[in-house]
Chains A and B, each alone.
Chain A
Amino acid sequence: EVQLVESGGGLVQPGGSLRLSCAASGFTFSNYALSWVRQAPGKGLEWVSAISGGGGSTFYADSVKGRFTISRDNSKSTLYLQMNSLRAEDTALYYCAKTIVGTTEDAFDIWGQGTKVTVSS
């Protein structure tokens, strides 16, 4: 079964840092680009960041550029999101998502269950 499982969310103060993880199984991890997508409470979906299958290309939404870093460890089939200088507006449920054909600009056929990040003092 193809599966993505996020972890690492929690409560953090403004200006703090957090690292999210997404463990994948059931597919050849290195063949697929992956993204992080977030959803603020009661709001819609917002793409955050993407990384190519090999990890050599990374992309970010303007809202997180310079603060967040996406990475992956293909030997561990795990995706990461390092979040620094967190702000209240980063509060959201963070999903990792797998692309259909593997390119970074693609639809997402598999989503994790999400990990909750709350930025508050």
Chain B
Amino acid sequence: EIVMTQSPATLSVSPGDRATLSCRASQSVSSHLAWYQQKPGQAPRLLIYGTSTRATGIPARFSGSGSGTEFTLTISSLQSEDFAIYYCQQYNNWLTFGGGTKVEIK
């Protein structure tokens, strides 16, 4: 099983600042990496798939990069609605999720 490790567990950011979230795979997942956003009481929402392709309706301030085992989700200028938990998921060798990064208001 491919283990996905996200860091940090919690990220404190001020509105308008840039946020950088990391996701590491225990072995290569090629570019088969997705990011989801989850707010309290809501289902996850797909943000990014294929490492860097934004899903339909996702604002351009969200961007993804990386390959192999190291991946990054960047939120260029945090808006109030972006404070949430973010999960990465690999789908190269079955399906596993990272433990999540909580983005909170600083």
A interface residue numbers (CB < 8 A to B): 35, 44-47, 50, 59, 62, 95, 100, 105-109, 111-114
Q: Which of B23-52 contact A (CB under 8 A)?
A: 32, 34, 36, 38, 43-46, 49-50
Contact (Cβ within 8 A) A111 B43: yes
Chain B residue with the shortest CB-CB distance to A50:
B95
Contact (Cβ within 8 A) A105 B94: yes
Known: A44-B99, A44-B100, A45-B87. A108 touches B94 (CB 8 A): no
Known: A44-B87, A45-B87, A47-B97. A111 touches B44 (CB 8 A): yes
Known: A105-B32, A107-B89. A47 touches B43 (CB 8 A): no
Q: Can you offer 16 A-B residue contacts whose CB atoms are under 8 A?
A: A44-B87, A44-B97, A44-B99, A44-B100, A45-B89, A47-B94, A47-B97, A50-B95, A59-B94, A105-B91, A105-B93, A107-B34, A108-B36, A108-B46, A109-B56, A111-B43
Contact (Cβ within 8 A) A95 B91: no
Q: Which of B56-106 contact A (CB under 8 A)?
A: 56, 87, 89, 91-100
Contact (Cβ within 8 A) A100 B49: yes
Taking CB atoms, residues of chain A closer than 8 Å to B98 are 44
A111 vs B39: C-alpha distance in the bound complex, in angstroms? 13
Taking CB atoms, residues of chain A closer than 8 Å to B1 are 62
Taking CB atoms, residues of chain B closer than 8 Å to A114 are 43
Taking CB atoms, residues of chain B closer than 8 Å to A59 are 94
Chain A residue with the shortest CB-CB distance to B89:
A107
Contact (Cβ within 8 A) B91 A112: no
Contact (Cβ within 8 A) A45 B44: yes
B55 interface residue per 8 A CB criterion: yes
A45-B36, A45-B89, A107-B49 given; 4 more Cβ-contact pairs under 8 Å: A45-B38, A45-B100, A107-B91, A111-B43
A109 vs B54: C-alpha distance in the bound complex, in angstroms? 11
Known: A35-B95, A45-B97, A47-B94. A109 touches B44 (CB 8 A): no
Chain A residue with the shortest CB-CB distance to B45:
A111
Contact (Cβ within 8 A) B46 A109: yes
